[in-house]
């Protein structure tokens, strides 16, 4: 076998469909676009949401709800999850940098601790927000909690 003799397996490739190259090709004439109308002509762009004159769904369905532009979203971690992370990665300090390095949050994410689960070790936590139950549980286990702005 030589490099210039390599070919695809039989039936693995298809002949290119040459559109608009005369009637002999089988794809001449209207070039597979049907007859007349905007879609057969050059420069056609489909309008987003256009339903052929029927009232579009975004106008049929009423407006609803409200998006608060000032909402602050947090990535939530429970105490049980923190304990698992600490056991797996041998962490004694839970910081935004540690969580980012191990791929649990994005660099711009804010983190909040919630009090679900059990703690067995003591931690130093530096996060954006913490619930009262979580703070009490961490301090009861001998750790400290610092809220970072």
**Average pLDDT estimate for 81-99:** 90
Q: Are 7 and 13 in contact (CB under 8 A)?
A: no
Confidence band, pLDDT 50/70/90 cuts, at residue 111: very high
Mean pLDDT taken over the chain? 92
> pLDDT > 90: what percent of the chain?
77
- The SS3 call for residue 127 is strand
pLDDT value, residue 129: 96
Q: Which residue has the higher pLDDT, 55 or 39?
A: 55
Torsion of CA 108, 110, 116, 121, to 10 degrees: 80
Q: Given a cut of 90, is residue 121 above it in pLDDT?
A: no
This model's pTM is above 0.75: no
Bridge partners, residue 76, by sequence: 112
Please say whether the beta carbons of 148 and 113 come within 8 A: no
Provide the CATH topology of domain 75-147. Ribosomal Protein L15; Chain: K; domain 2 (3.100.10)
Q: Is the pLDDT of residue 139 over 90?
A: yes
- Is residue 21 over pLDDT 90? yes
Nearest Cα to Cα of residue 144 among 104, 101, 116, 113: 113
What are 4's two structure tokens?
């210039």
């Amino acid at each position: 076998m030589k490099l210039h003799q390599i070919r695809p397996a039989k039936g693995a490739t298809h002949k290119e469909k040459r559109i608009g190259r005369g009637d002999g090709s089988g794809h001449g004439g209207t070039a597979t676009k049907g007859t007349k109308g905007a879609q057969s002509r050059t420069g056609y762009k489909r309008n987003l949401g256009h339903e052929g004159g029927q009232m579009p769904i975004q106008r049929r369905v009423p407006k609803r709800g409200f998006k608060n532009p000032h909402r602050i979203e947090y990535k939530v971690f429970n105490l049980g999850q923190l304990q698992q992370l600490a056991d797996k990665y041998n962490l004694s300090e839970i910081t935004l940098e540690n969580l980012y390095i191990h791929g649990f949050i994005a660099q711009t994410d804010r983190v909040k601790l919630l009090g679900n689960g059990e703690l067995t070790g003591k931690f130093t936590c530096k996060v954006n927000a913490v619930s009262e139950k979580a703070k009490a549980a961490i301090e009861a286990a001998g750790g400290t909690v610092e809220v970072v702005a």
